[in-house]
Amino acid sequence: MAVSGLLMLGYLVAHVAGNLKVFFGPEEFNAYGHWLRVMGAPVLHHEWALWLVRIVLLAAVVAHAVSAYQLSRRDLKARPTAYVHRRKGASYATRTMRWGGIILALFIVWHVLDLTTGTVHPGGFEEGRPYQNVVDTFSTWYGNVIYIVAMLAVGLHVRHGFWSAAQTLGVGSARRERLLRGAANGLALALTAGFVSVPVAVMTGVVS
């Protein structure tokens, strides 16, 4: 679970960096979208590298979900009766990891159908024009609500998940506790702010 989570975290960092190119205008953002489909050329054919990334990411998502289910079942089997008193010190992010994961799984499906296949895209999906597609999506109230709620869930998930992964992989220690928690908080905040800045920019007319 830790390894698949860190793999997806790496993807999120790269994804938010790409998303922020929308602030440089349609030409640069559309060029970035085109590059994603030709990266690796001329060694790799059109979209081969992109599909490789998609397959690895899908495998990570499946591994993460299966691991979460297995850990949940083990937890219930180890203690079928709930604690009388809720454990003190558990953060809101910790207590909502399961629901956050479900929200993100549903969001991924919507996000792909909206901006990759164009199946549920508002305003007419335009292949090869990701800038206009992003503006179309965030020009609708529901597109903004879905995306912002999902990105808040991402922040909470990363905040707890990054620290937990460090403990699982043996990186954490009493001396590093403060540093790891600070890194988890900073990373979660940076990712959430970066992702949310795009719909906010469209809503306020900064990106149009």
Q: Is 45 exposed, middle or buried (0-12, 13-18, 19+ CB in 10 A)?
A: exposed
Q: Whole-prediction pTM value?
A: 0.86
pLDDT at 162: 86
Alpha carbon distance 176, 66 (integer Å): 30
pLDDT at 82: 57
Long-range Cβ contact pairs of 149-153 (< 8 A, separation 24 or more): 149/103, 150/103, 150/104, 150/107, 150/111, 151/191, 151/192, 151/195, 151/196, 152/192, 152/196, 153/100, 153/103, 153/104, 153/107
pLDDT per position in the chain (208 positions), as tens?
A: 889 999 999 999 999 999 999 999 999 999 999 999 999 999 999 999 999 999 999 999 999 989 888 887 887 777 666 555 555 545 455 566 778 888 999 999 999 999 999 999 998 899 999 999 999 999 999 999 999 999 999 999 998 888 888 877 877 667 777 888 888 899 999 999 999 999 999 999 999 9
Alpha carbon distance 164, 50 (integer Å): 30
